[in-house]
Chain A
Amino acid sequence: MLKINPPEKWIETGLFMAAVVSAVAIVSILLLLIYFCLPLFSGNGLSRVFSWRWQPIDGQFGILPMCAGSLALSILALGIAFPPAIGICTLVHVLSRGVFARIVLILTHFMTGIPTVIYGFVSVFVLVPRIRSLSEAGTGFSLLTAAITLAILILPTIVLVCYTRLEQLDPVLRLASAAMGFTPIQQMRHVLMPAATKGVAAAAILGLGRAMGDTLISLMLAGNAAQFPGSLFTSFRSLTAHIGLVVATDSQSLAYQSVFAAGLVLFLLVAALNLIIRKTDNRITANAFLRVQETRHEQNF
């Protein structure tokens, strides 16, 4: 019936080559970034780029304020997104398993597909004027504005990963705790959440990484002033926005090289987060949706 026997070895080699592509890509991204950072290592380039002042007209090219900006932004966004994310997980996992939970879950999935630029665009006209009227000192383009918008962006990621981990828990846990007379919310608080701590932590870190890597939100909403993010209402610049803003200035200056330094720092930060996720919970892959899908499939068998 099967006329031709395809050369199995060749096929396996071909598939293997495809699997290697990701690794090659990652390594070449890292190498190219390092290659373009090399000029910094001669002279005092490194100490000039890793300093606290960005004032190109005075020859000051420090990107540390941007590093601080990225960290502050992503941590704040996570802080805003995390509690409601856990709330939504609780809601759909134990409190309401009916139509409403279904709607919430579908909406959450849908949210992962809303283009980032749309969040930024709407926020410019909805959130910025409100934040501006909230604080006299700021222009509305601020840490808070960007963090709130970013929180909405990363919310579905956290919800979906958490939810997946909760669904993966042994159903016996829930039955036993219910038999002990725990109400649903008590089950969640005292049994399920503690049991899923690692997964929840991984979800949070995943959200942090997503927040740190986002460009459009901070570019459109943070104001881009190259200063330390001293308060919620100050304008600041993230590493990602710095790359977008400065990438094509004069190729001879340190300003230009600072872009590659920013790229490298960003890459290493996100890679470190990735490593932490793997250490925390090796059952989480780096994409919420896929994980959800995997579980669905697992449930079927």
Chain B
Amino acid sequence: MNRISDRILVGLTWLSGIGMCMVVTGLLLFLIFHGIRQITPALFFGDTPWLKAITGQSPVFDGIWPAVTGTVLLVFLSSAIAVPVGVASGIYLAAYASSRQRAFWGSMVDLLSGTPSIVMGLFGFTMILFLRKTVNPTAQTGLFLAAVCIALLILPYLIRTSQAAIAGISTHLRLIGPAAGFSKWQNIRHVLLPLASRGILSGIILAVGRASEDTAVILLTGVVAQTGIPRNIWDKFEALPFRIYYLAAEHRNATELEQGFAVALVLLFLTGFLFAIAFLLNRYAENRWRIRRYQ
């Protein structure tokens, strides 16, 4: 009796494992099958010559180049805001905070990481409404606002990865600095941070992946269907994930739909690439530490 139920359970676990692999490969194949034909220079630049498009000499229509630049700028700006704050706060939590402080500030980080991205977007939107009512009546949604909200979204990832990377360093490595007469900060700066750098870096890359894929935040903070390459950080912008969302709902013909699949492939390639780097860095970090352990 028990035997049979055990066998059924074993069967079910294999089924779920294989099922998941099939879902992922099915998804990839589906996108490749429908989208690969549209991955051409025209997908990126429309009918604008690519050299002129990249140098910004002439605007691109019917191509995703503005969306690519929009996403890249957004990721760059939000990382520029979130990475210093995130890493610094990770260091504080790992190396300075008492365990009570760590629990308290940590719970704030958890709350922030649980906050739905649409609420983060709504926060940005209300912030603009608030600014318009109070200090700056011409405040507008745009790239900078979106970057700030995305920065808040990825901040918890950065804090937790940095904190974990530093907290994970073994005690005898931690004691090297103090033994050599380093002060607390010197120890962090010259011993702990270099040791934790790969863990931190992989966290940063994951955060970048998250920043490049989120749609709900930018939906409320300044993404538009057509605008061209943003000229400054207050401009409205286009973005890859929004482009996919837009094409899913209102492709005008079969070609535009195929373009939607192609854009999805491009975005997936981008996030997959970032994921692979983070993964390898992580692996490498582990191995490096393992070797040190046995030395």
Q: Give which listed residue, A8, A90, A185, A278, contacts B110 with CB less than 8 A.
A: A278
Contacts of B108 in A (CB 8 A): 22-23, 26
Q: Is the CB of A91 within 8 A of B91?
A: no
- Secondary structure class of chain B's binding surface, majority of residues: helix
Contacts of A293 in B (CB 8 A): 161, 164-165, 199, 202-203, 282
Q: Is the CB of A216 within 8 A of B161?
A: no
In which size bucket is the chain A interface? Answer: 35 or more
Between A and B, 19 residue pairs with Cβ closer than 8 Å are: A2-B186, A19-B88, A20-B89, A33-B123, A84-B16, A114-B268, A115-B244, A117-B248, A152-B23, A220-B248, A240-B116, A243-B122, A260-B126, A266-B119, A287-B113, A293-B282, A294-B164, A297-B164, A300-B286
A172 at the interface (CB under 8 A from B): no
Query: How distant is the Cα of A15 from the Cα of B10 in the complex, in angstroms?
Result: 50
Interface stretch (choices A43-51, A56-64, A105-113, A228-236): A105-113
Interface stretch (choices B37-45, B51-59, B213-221): B213-221
Chain A residues proximal to chain B, CB less than 8 Å: 2, 5-6, 8, 11-12, 14-16, 18-23, 25-26, 28-29, 32-33, 35-36, 83-85, 87-88, 90-92, 95-96, 100, 103-104, 106-111, 113-122, 124, 126, 152, 155, 183, 185-186, 189, 209, 212-216, 220, 240, 243-244, 247, 259-260, 263, 266-267, 270-271, 273-274, 277-278, 285-287, 289-290, 293-294, 296-298, 300-301
In which size bucket is the chain B interface? Answer: 35 or more
Q: Is the CB of A286 within 8 A of B264?
A: no
A244 and B118 contact, Cβ closer than 8 Å, known pairs A114-B271, A300-B168: yes
Q: Is the CB of A120 within 8 A of B248?
A: yes
Contacts of A15 in B (CB 8 A): 88-89, 91-92, 96
B183 at the interface (CB under 8 A from A): yes
For B31, the closest partner residue in chain A by CB is: A122
Query: How distant is the Cα of A33 from the Cα of B118 in the complex, in angstroms?
Result: 12
Shortest beta-carbon distance, A39 to chain B, in Å? 13
Q: How many CB-defined contacts (below 8 Å) exist between A and B? A: 290
The contact string, 1 if C-beta is below 8 Å from chain A, for chain B 105-138, is 1111111111111111111011101100000000
B27 at the interface (CB under 8 A from A): yes
Q: Is the CB of A115 within 8 A of B241?
A: yes
The contact string, 1 if C-beta is below 8 Å from chain A, for chain B 162-181, is 00110110100000000000
Q: Give which listed residue, A107, A109, A263, contacts B122 with CB less than 8 A.
A: A263
For B103, the closest partner residue in chain A by CB is: A282
For B152, the closest partner residue in chain A by CB is: A25
Q: Is the CB of A213 within 8 A of B118?
A: yes
B145 at the interface (CB under 8 A from A): no
Contacts of A16 in B (CB 8 A): 92, 96
Q: Give which listed residue, A21, A110, A117, A297, contacts B213 with CB less than 8 A.
A: A117
Q: Is the CB of A22 within 8 A of B156?
A: yes
B236 at the interface (CB under 8 A from A): no
Q: Give which listed residue, B92, B117, B129, B244, contacts A121 with CB less than 8 A.
A: B244
